Amino acid sequence: MTERLSYIFNEIPPCEVFADIACDHGYIAGAMLRSGKCRRAVVSDISAKSLKKAEDLLSDYINDGRAQSFVSDGFDNVPQVDVALVAGIGGRLTMDILERAKAADKLPETLVLQPMKHVDKVRFFAVGIGYKIVKDFTVKSDGQFYDIIVLKKGKDSLSREEAEFGRTNLTEKPLAFREKMRFEIDKVLKYLESETMTYKTRASMLKKIERLKKHV
Ligand SMILES: C[S@@+](CC[C@H](N)C(=O)[O-])C[C@H]1O[C@@H](n2cnc3c(N)ncnc32)[C@H](O)[C@@H]1O
């Protein structure tokens, strides 16, 4: 497992039935079953070819009935589970998947998300469909930053700053988050140096730097 997947695995709570939505390789479901963190696991992917990797990895568990696999767009063909992971896909796709799961009344009690983009929007969206944030923080793996959001059903409300940066990042300032802030500041500075832009755009970039600086 990559470092990113290990970070995700550590955040998944013990449960009866775990689902890895958009699983591809199925490593997390394998680790959940091996470690005894779940009794049963469901792996699903929209691509039969991707899912086959997970099916091969979990073949012993599938044979003894502890794992099931489904070709599925999001939760569409997946039975009700206690805890689900949706990781490594775009934020918009993550929200589409969750929206359909809500309409089908299939949202699990606990969700672990690791969207690749539009994380601020995903945070607002998840709270809007009835989740509260348990933990929301940045990790670094192979030189890349990733956000992991752990959610449980319940009421919550997010400030703009929490949506932009992640609540746990703001309260605990983990090292990966501070590094990410420095990285983002450098990116904006380089952009300011290299591009010609309107006064308004420049002012908004400078404002962004001030916002980011608060968290270094
Ligand atoms: C980059 S892999 C991520 C695998 C794994 N979740 C991880 O974090 O390492 C993305 C996977 O999402 C699957 N996928 C894309 N759209 C999907 C959808 N609407 N429903 C289910 N799976 C989807 C792809 O087939 C692919 O296997």
Reduce the secondary structure of the chain to three states and give it as a string: CCHHHHHHHHHCCCEEEEEEECCCCCHHHHHHHHHCCEEEEEEEECCHHHHHHHHHHCHHHHHCCCEEEEECCCCCCCCCCCEEEEECCCHHHHHHHHHHHHHCCCCCCEEEEECCCCHHHHHHHHHHCCEEEEEEEEEEECCEEEEEEEEEECCCCCCHHHHHHCHHHHHHCCHHHHHHHHHHHHHHHHHHHHCCCCHHHHHHHHHHHHHHHCCC
Which amino acid, 91? G
Same domain, 38 and 80: yes
212: pLDDT strictly greater than 90: yes
**Residues 12 and 103 reside in one and the same domain:** yes
Does residue 136 belong to any structural domain of this protein?
Answer: yes
87, 190: one domain: no
Shortest-distance Cα residue to atom 3 of ligand 1: 88
The answer to whether residue 44 sits within a structural domain is: yes
183 Cα: distance to centroid of ligand 1 (angstroms): 27
CB atoms within 10 A of CB 53: 17
- Identify the residue whose C-alpha is closest to ligand 1 atom 22: 22
Residue 116 lies in a domain: yes
User: Across-strand partners of 69?
Assistant: 43
58 in a domain, yes or no? yes
Task: Judge whether residue 99 has pLDDT over 90.
Answer: yes
CA distance 192 to 188: 6
- What's the CA-to-centroid distance between 204 and ligand 1, angstroms? 35
Q: What is the pLDDT of residues 9-37, one digit of tens each?
A: 999 999 999 999 999 999 999 999 999 99
* Structural domain contains residue 122: yes
Rounded mean pLDDT, 120-125: 98
Does the beta carbon of 73 lie inside 6 Å of ligand 1? yes
The owner of tokens 């609540």 is: 167
Mean pLDDT of the chain: 97
Q: Which atom of ligand 1 is nearest to the CA of 47?
A: 25
Torsion of CA 127, 124, 120, 180, to 10 degrees: -30
- Same domain assignment for residues 99 and 150: yes
Q: Are both 189 and 162 inside the same structural domain?
A: no
Distance CA 136, CA 132 (A): 11
- pLDDT score for 195: 78
Please tell me whether residues 196 and 145 are part of one structural domain: no
| Position with higher pLDDT, 191 vs 114 | 114
CA of 115 to the centre of ligand 1 (A): 11
Are 106 and 205 in a shared domain?
A: no
Predicted local confidence at residue 197, as pLDDT:
85
Any atom of ligand 1 within 6 Å of the Cβ of 119: no
pLDDT digits (tens, 9 = 90+) for 36-73: 999 999 999 999 999 999 999 999 999 999 999 999 99
User: Residue 26: inside a domain, yes or no?
Assistant: yes
Among 108, 40, 34, which Cα is nearest to 74's?
108
Looking at the structure of the chain, the number of domains it has is: 2
173 lies in some domain: no
Assess whether pLDDT exceeds 90 at residue 196: no
Pocket probe mutation, ligand 1, options 46, 92, 95, max atoms within 8 Å of Cβ: 46
Same domain flag for 75 and 132: yes
Residue 187 pLDDT: 94
Asked whether residue 109 falls in the same domain as residue 189, the answer is no
Residue 216: alpha-carbon gap to chain centroid: 23
What range does the domain containing 191 cover?
Answer: 179-213
pLDDT of residue 124: 97
Here the CATH number for the domain that contains residue 75 is: 3.40.50.150
**Residues 41 and 147 both lie in one domain:** yes
Among protein residues, the one with the nearest Cα to ligand 1's atom 8 is 88
The reply to whether 131 and 156 lie within a common domain is: yes
What pLDDT score does 41 carry?
A: 98
Q: Is there a domain that residue 194 lies in?
A: yes
Do 15 and 85 share a domain, yes or no? yes
pTM more than 0.85: yes
Ligand 1: does its nearest atom lie under 6 Å from the Cβ of 109? Answer: no
